């Protein structure tokens, strides 16, 4: 495996897929377009599908307003718009909505919003009075803009799928993470959930790693982006601990978890997450020497100033590309992950 650290990204996912039974031939109606959020990932997806990204003009007016124009006919076509809602979240979300509206008004047969990272996913419920459920609001905006279907990866909360009244395909980045970890043949492995809410994710991860044992970090959160780690449930002494989460934002939770694992005798600590949000001061926390490696995917582009020697970035382009083909050909998506 060509695993690279720091600034490098794997050119293609190691996730193995099989061509659909009908063959990858009916592409005269298929069109792929990319927003500005992660053009490199979109190009990798297009290469997997065997197409070029469609031509599109994107610009910003002097007052900050966004402009999008599709530069080819898409009348009667199945259009897939690839745009993670990462930083700056509001700009990228608005750009996605404008792209959807432009495609709908251009008489596309079906518009699918491909959202590798779903912004506002953590605002999925009310935890106090007078709060917005912003994840639901985003779902309403995408639907009202004219999307016919949504494809997203590793939602922070699976219930977000229920916020949509249109078809929703939810796929996972775990196959590329698991394949990479399996290739390292780490000894005495224990999978660690950074909190109680992530136990189901960590348990599924551990099962795929030859039923590795599971440990859980018990924590209390007193404010947004602030967590206090209390103790570990499970045996980690002398083991190689793999912390598994859906995203790493400021890195506070996972860094405190790694520090506690070290104190409890873990021999090595790895961190795995699909989405590398990496808000400050994540880089300082993750590169502090607590981790052997921090393994993430390229759902979100990582700028040069957020890269560090322990970082390993894996590509999920093959998973997204195969999913797009299966949606286009009306074949099973869930069978990819069995």
pLDDT, tens digit (0-9, with 9 covering 90-100), for 139-187:
999 999 999 999 999 999 999 999 999 999 999 999 999 999 999 999 9
What's the pLDDT at 219? 73
Are residues 241 and 209 both part of a single domain? yes
Active site residue 219: yes
Q: How far is CA 97 from the centre of its chain?
A: 19
Q: For residue 5, is pLDDT > 80?
A: no
Q: Which residue has the higher pLDDT, 23 or 86?
A: 86
What's the pLDDT at 156? 94
Contact, 209 vs 236, CB < 8 A? no
Residue 242 falls inside a structural domain = yes
Residue 1 falls inside a structural domain = no
What's the pLDDT at 230? 73
Give 189's pLDDT tier (boundaries 50, 70, 90): very high
Give 8's pLDDT tier (boundaries 50, 70, 90): very low
Q: Which of 16, 219, 237, 239 is catalytic?
A: 219
Residue 3 falls inside a structural domain = no
Kindly report which listed range (3-7, 67-71, 237-241, 242-246) carries the lowest average pLDDT score: 3-7
Query: Which residue stretches of 214-330 are H helix?
Result: 252-263, 282-286, 317-328
Average pLDDT, the chain: 91
Total number of domains constituting the chain: 2
CA distances from 185 to 28, 67, 105, 157, 191 (A): 44, 49, 52, 31, 14
Mean pLDDT, residues 66-74: 97
Are residues 301 and 330 both part of a single domain? no
Q: For residue 11, is pLDDT > 50?
A: no
pLDDT digits (tens, 9 = 90+) for 190-231: 999 998 889 999 999 999 999 999 999 987 666 666 656 578
Are residues 78 and 48 both part of a single domain? yes
Q: Is 243 helix (H, G, I), strand (E, B) or coil?
A: strand
- The residues pairing with 31 across neighbouring beta strands, listed in sequence order, are 79
Q: Is 153 helix (H, G, I), strand (E, B) or coil?
A: strand
**Sole residue written with tokens 């007016």:** 61
What's the pLDDT at 222? 62
Give the structural domain span for 214. 174-315
Are residues 110 and 233 both part of a single domain? no
Residue 157 falls inside a structural domain = yes
Residue 8 falls inside a structural domain = no
Q: Which residue has the higher pLDDT, 22 or 36?
A: 36
Mean pLDDT, residues 95-120: 98
Residue 23 falls inside a structural domain = no
Are residues 35 and 154 both part of a single domain? yes
Give 26's pLDDT tier (boundaries 50, 70, 90): low
What's the pLDDT at 6? 55
What's the pLDDT at 192? 97
Q: What is the CATH number of the domain that holds 167?
A: 3.40.50.2020
Q: For residue 7, is pLDDT > 80?
A: no
CA distances from 272 to 35, 151, 275, 305 (A): 27, 22, 9, 20
Q: How far is CA 92 from the centre of its chain?
A: 15
Q: Do you know the residue count of the chain?
A: 338
What's the pLDDT at 14? 46
Residue 18 falls inside a structural domain = no
Are residues 36 and 113 both part of a single domain? yes
What's the pLDDT at 153? 98
């Amino acid at each position: 495996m060509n695993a690279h650290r720091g600034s490098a990204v794997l050119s293609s996912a190691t996730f193995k897929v099989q061509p659909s039974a009908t063959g990858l031939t009916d592409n005269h109606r298929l069109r792929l377009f990319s927003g500005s959020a992660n053009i490199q990932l979109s190009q990798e997806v297009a290469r997997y599908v065997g197409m070029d990204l469609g031509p599109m003009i994107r610009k910003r007016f002097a007052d900050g307003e966004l402009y999008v124009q599709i530069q080819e006919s898409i009348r009667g076509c199945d259009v897939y718009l690839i745009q993670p809602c990462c930083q700056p979240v509001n700009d990228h979300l608005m750009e996605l909505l404008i792209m959807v509206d432009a495609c709908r008004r251009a008489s596309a047969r079906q518009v699918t919003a491909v959202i590798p990272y779903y912004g506002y996913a953590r605002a999925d419920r009310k935890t106090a009075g007078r709060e917005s459920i912003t994840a639901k609001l985003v779902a309403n905006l995408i639907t009202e803009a004219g999307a016919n279907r949504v494809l997203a990866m590793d939602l922070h909360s699976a219930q977000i799928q229920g916020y949509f009244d249109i078809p929703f395909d939810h796929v996972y980045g775990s196959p590329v993470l698991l394949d990479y970890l399996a290739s390292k043949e780490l000894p005495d492995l224990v999978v660690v959930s950074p909190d109680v809410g992530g136990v189901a994710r960590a348990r599924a991860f551990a099962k795929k790693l030859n039923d590795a044992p599971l440990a859980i970090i018990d924590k209390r959160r007193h404010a947004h982006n602030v967590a206090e780690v209390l103790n570990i449930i499970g045996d980690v002494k002398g083991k190689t601990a793999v912390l598994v989460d859906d995203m790493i934002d400021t890195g506070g939770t996972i860094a405190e978890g790694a520090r506690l694992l070290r104190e409890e005798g873990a021999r090595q600590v790895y961190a795995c997450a699909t989405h590398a949000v990496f808000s400050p001061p994540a880089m300082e926390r993750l590169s502090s020497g607590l981790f052997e490696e921090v393994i993430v995917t390229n759902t979100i582009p990582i700028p040069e100033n957020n890269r560090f020697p322990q970082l390993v970035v894996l590509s999920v382009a093959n998973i997204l590309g195969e999913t797009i083909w299966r949606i286009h050909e009306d074949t099973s998506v869930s069978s990819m992950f069995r």
